[in-house]
Structure formats: structure tokens, C-alpha cells
Amino acid sequence: MPTYADLVKPELLSQPVYQPGKPIEYVARDLGLDPSTIVKLASNENPLGASPKAVAAGKAAMDSIQLYPDGGCYDLKQALARSLELKPDQFIVGNGSNEVLELLGHAFIGEGDEVVMGQGAFIVYKLVTLLFGGIPVEVPTIDYRHDLRGMAAAVTDRTKLVFLASPDNPSGSANTKEEILELIYALPEQVVFVLDEAYSEYLDDPVDLRGLIGQGRKVFCTRTFSKIYGLAGLRIGYGYGDPELVSLLNRAREPFNANAVAQAAAVAALEDRSFVEKCRMENAEGVMFFEKRLGSLGIEYIKTYANFLTINLGDGVAAFEAMQQDGVIVRPLAPYGMGEWVRISIGTQEENERALASLTSFLSKRSV
């Protein structure tokens, strides 16, 4: 009798599985710790939570959850259009920007198609490519920064998409505007460039591709409410680009992919600019705190442009395990080919101090 593995599409058998950060409750149970004492700095979530206005809007939306959500996300697209000075039909909303990345896979990637990405880039680019039978073409980084000339050179007749996150996850590095524009201009007309802007709100001076979209360049951007807006648990993100592309992506989208609570919260989150600004500033202070302390301890880290810091602790998995014993959850980067490194999200000042104490204690035990 055939097993299910004999019956499913063969590409599923070799499909890697995304490894998420462990939820606080799991770690607490495993280690017998009180969940309220655990510090989770593993998934680049917002340590300040979400805007109280977003929380209130989400709660209000709970009063009507017997109704299907607005499949067209009218209010959210209006709010996005105002905020980004684009047209509502230039936006597609997803169940997290992850879903938008997957919609790009549905739309563009078939058997044997090539997708160019940097080595160690956000792993979802590779997962989406493989899921649709495509071939990830991974271009080595230079000093933990994506090599955009190398990525341009890796494009062939079979290339469909080029993915870049800037700031990048998990390295935290960023490419300059000039580098990004040079890459876009170097791409042939049949290749779509996707800029993942999950962390762009943390940049002082982010690259702005809206003008190029208007000029008909094949560029598309994705953003998320999971990071600076603090709505990771609601799963909501979006992409923006040419209306023709957006309408094609919509054909691959399931009808009610973005739920009503998330849509309502996202509109309010977008409009609470002072909360976003506060998060940006506190994050910058947290980054400075870590950089100063790591610098004086002589610990190697990658200069970050986002809300996390990637640190070389010699053995990422051992560090992760030791820190977890202290109730501090971080992300070991072995799945990204960076076995010595861990990624630590910037938390509140108190959380940052706990993380620093825990990693220093790990290093001191290792060196004896």
C-alpha cells in the first residue's frame, strides 16, 4: 500500500521546514521556569508591544467576527495609499508579508526557474522557490552584506525573480541606495526585483522605489506589520507595485486571506505615527547599548540597521542553549550557515541587560 509520502508531489519530500523561534510557554514548560520571567528575543518582535490604538481597534473588530472580513481590504488599502502616496490598487495585503512572498512564487516560479538571492538571506525566499519547483541561486555575501553586483551577474535567461531584504535578516546589514539602484538598472526587463522592506521603518533614509514603479520598472516591495508595528501575532503584511502585477497576484490569493481583526488593527497602527517613532528611537538606543557593551567586551557583531543584532559567540547552538537556561531566548543561526552566531532582537532596556548578562556568563564559562 502506498504511503502518503509516495502520493504527494515529489518536491514536498525535499522541502525544508521553517524553524520558528520557540514560544515562551514551551521554553517555560521545558525548563520549569515561570513564563513571566522569560525574555524572548528570538523573532524580532516589538518589545513595546503594539500601539494601544491598534489594540483597541482590533478589540472593537472582535464584536463582528461572525462576519467574513473585507476580502478586498478597502480601508487598509486606503490608509496605505494615503501613507505611501500611492493608489489603493497598487497594494496587495497578505496573511503576513510571508504570504505575499508566496504569492510571488505562485505567480512567477515554475519547474526549473531560477530565483536569485544572497547566501544566508531570509530563508523564506529559498522555501518559496523550492516549493514551486524553482532553483534558488544563492550569491555569496561579502563581509555579511549582500553582493548586489554578484547578484546581477548571477542572472540568466531562466531567472524570474531577484529577492533582496535591506535591512537584511538575519545579518542586520543593509545595502546602500546606490547599490540597490545599480542592481535594478542592471536587471533585464523580464526579471522582477523584489525588495523586502520588513525593517525599512528602522532606517533613517530608506531607499524609495516608488518612482521606479511609476516608470514601469519591474520592481515590487513588501512590508509587514509584524516588526515595528508590533502586530506579529495577527499576521498581516502587504506588497506594493504596479497595479497590473497586483491584480495578477490577486488571482493567486485566497478570498479572505487577511482577517478582520488584523485589518482593523493595521489601519490604526499605520495612523499612530508617534508610537512608531517612539519604537524607532527606543530601538536605536537599544542598539547603541549593545554596540557599546559588546565593543568594550571585544565581542564580534555585525553592524545592524534593524531591530536585532547578530553576534559571534563561537558556538551559536551552545550559546542559545545556555542562554535559554537563563530564560533568555535567542536565535542560533546554524540554519543560515552561520554556526558561530546568534541573532538577538533588541528588547527593552531591562531585557537587553538580561541578554547581555547571560551571553557574558556563557562566554566566561566557555573560556575557562
Ligand X SMILES: *Cc1c(COP(=O)(O)O)cnc(C)c1O
What is the C-alpha separation between 358 and 347, in angstroms, rounded?
A: 14
Q: What is the smallest separation between the CB atom of 97 and ligand X, expressed in angstroms?
A: 4
Closest CB to ligand X: residue number:
96
User: Which among 44, 293, 270, 50 is positioned nearest to 171, based on CA atoms?
Assistant: 44
Shorter beta-carbon distance to ligand X: residue 47 or 96 = 96
Q: What is the smallest separation between the CB atom of 199 and ligand X, expressed in angstroms?
A: 7
Q: Please state whether beta strands 331-332 and 308-312 pair in parallel, antiparallel, or not at all (unpaired).
A: unpaired
Find the binding residues for ligand X in span 303-362 (CB under 6 A): none
User: Which among 172, 169, 188 is positioned nearest to 116, based on CA atoms?
Assistant: 188
Shorter beta-carbon distance to ligand X: residue 97 or 259 = 97
Strand partners, 290: none
What is the C-alpha separation between 166 and 179, in angstroms, rounded?
A: 11
What is the C-alpha separation between 204 and 349, in angstroms, rounded?
A: 22
Find the binding residues for ligand X in span 44-103 (CB under 6 A): 44, 96-98
Q: What is the smallest separation between the CB atom of 335 and ligand X, expressed in angstroms?
A: 14
Give the single-character DSSP code of 140: P
Decide if 326 contacts 332 (C-beta within 8 A). no
Mask 127-156, x = binds ligand X (CB under 6 A)? ------------------------------
Q: Which stretch binds ligand X (CB under 6 A): 223-231, 243-251, 325-333, 341-349?
A: 223-231
Q: What is the smallest separation between the CB atom of 368 and ligand X, expressed in angstroms?
A: 36
Q: Which stretch binds ligand X (CB under 6 A): 33-41, 81-89, 221-229, 240-248?
A: 221-229
Shorter beta-carbon distance to ligand X: residue 39 or 198 = 198
Shorter beta-carbon distance to ligand X: residue 18 or 185 = 18
What is the C-alpha separation between 257 and 25, in angstroms, rounded?
A: 27
91, 122, 275, 336: residue in contact with ligand X (rule CB under 6 A): 122
Decide if 97 contacts 116 (C-beta within 8 A). no
Shorter beta-carbon distance to ligand X: residue 88 or 237 = 237
Strand partners, 302: 310
Question: Given CA atoms 295, 144, 177, 192 in this order, what sign does their dihedral have?
Answer: negative
Residue 232 within binding range of ligand X, rule CB under 6 A: yes
CA distances from 310 to 36, 283, 306 (A): 25, 15, 10
Establish how many alpha carbons lie within 13 A of residue 89's alpha carbon, considering only the half-sphere containing its beta carbon: 7
Shorter beta-carbon distance to ligand X: residue 129 or 169 = 169
134, 136, 237, 239: residue in contact with ligand X (rule CB under 6 A): 237
Mask 257-296, x = binds ligand X (CB under 6 A)? ----------------------------------------
Q: What is the smallest separation between the CB atom of 175 and ligand X, expressed in angstroms?
A: 13
Burial of 112 (0-12, 13-18, 19+ CB in 10 A): exposed
Q: What is the smallest separation between the CB atom of 343 and ligand X, expressed in angstroms?
A: 10
Find the binding residues for ligand X in span 6-45 (CB under 6 A): 44
What is the C-alpha separation between 232 and 254, in angstroms, rounded?
A: 20
Size of the site for ligand X (CB under 6 A): 14
Mask 164-203, x = binds ligand X (CB under 6 A)? -x---x--------------------------x-x-----
Residue 245 grid cell: 502585477
Residue 125 within binding range of ligand X, rule CB under 6 A: no
φ, ψ of residue 348 to 5 degrees: the values are -75, 170
The stretches of 132-197 forming alpha helices (DSSP H) are 148-153, 177-186
Residues that bind ligand X (CB under 6 A): 44, 96-98, 122, 165, 169, 196, 198, 224, 226-227, 232, 237
